[in-house]
Amino acid sequence: MKPIAYISTDIQFTRLQEIDYKRGLVFLQLYDIPYADLSAYAGILITNFVEETFLLDHKNILEDYLNDGGVIFSQAENFLPWLPGCENWKRSPISLRDREIRLTEPVHPMFYGIDPYDLNHKKGVRGFFSRGYFEAPEHSEVIVEDQDGKAIIYIDRKTTDGTIVAGAGTDLYRFGIEENSSRVLSTQMLNWIRQEYEANKEEQK
């Protein structure tokens, strides 16, 4: 199984656990990107705990990976243009307690079997999923939005020869930690990234 890189600064609560390694994740320190062979990874997860000025300085490395058919899933609240085609993150004017997270139809495979209530609430409290949104590119596929139709997660297969998934500050991989339907989110997310990578590589043949 080809690994998926989990990119972050090295702080305690972003470090991977044994179960993450068993799922095929590999921790890649943000500042090691210039020295890493990204072609070794079926996908790249970028957390919200990154130095965006560093990513901007090395955006060509990410673009090269994408144009080789790679898959990047960013969970960052971007304020600099380091991710191709992605505009800066915007904070939603809707209060966290009133904002509703909605899965678009047809439901994307990453969210199969997940009750939207479990995305909107943690221990009965609302507002943990995302605080903001992106103005998604016209050619993108929006898979999660709020009640105003603002994109919280979108997929872009046109800007590069790979696949970009932009999540507006949503730590999707670590979200499903409660005993509810969202528990499957992390594994379904990784499975989809691998399938998308294989589809991209097949298309490039």
What confidence score (pLDDT) does residue 63 get?
98
Please count the residues of the chain: 205
What confidence score (pLDDT) does residue 127 get?
66
Number of H helices, E strands in the chain: 6, 12
Segments of the chain scoring below 50 in pLDDT: none
CB neighbours (10 Å) of residue 177?
Answer: 11
What confidence score (pLDDT) does residue 176 get?
63
Could you give the CA distance from residue 169 to residue 27 in angstroms, rounded to a whole number? 19
CB neighbours (10 Å) of residue 59?
Answer: 15
Segment 28-56, tens digit of pLDDT: 999 999 999 999 999 999 998 899 999 99
| Nearest one of 94, 180, 105 to 130, comparing CA atoms | 94
What confidence score (pLDDT) does residue 13 get?
72
What confidence score (pLDDT) does residue 97 get?
85
Which residue ranges form the domains of the chain, and what is each CATH number?
4-204 (3.40.50.880)
Under 8 Å between Cβ of 193 and 4: yes
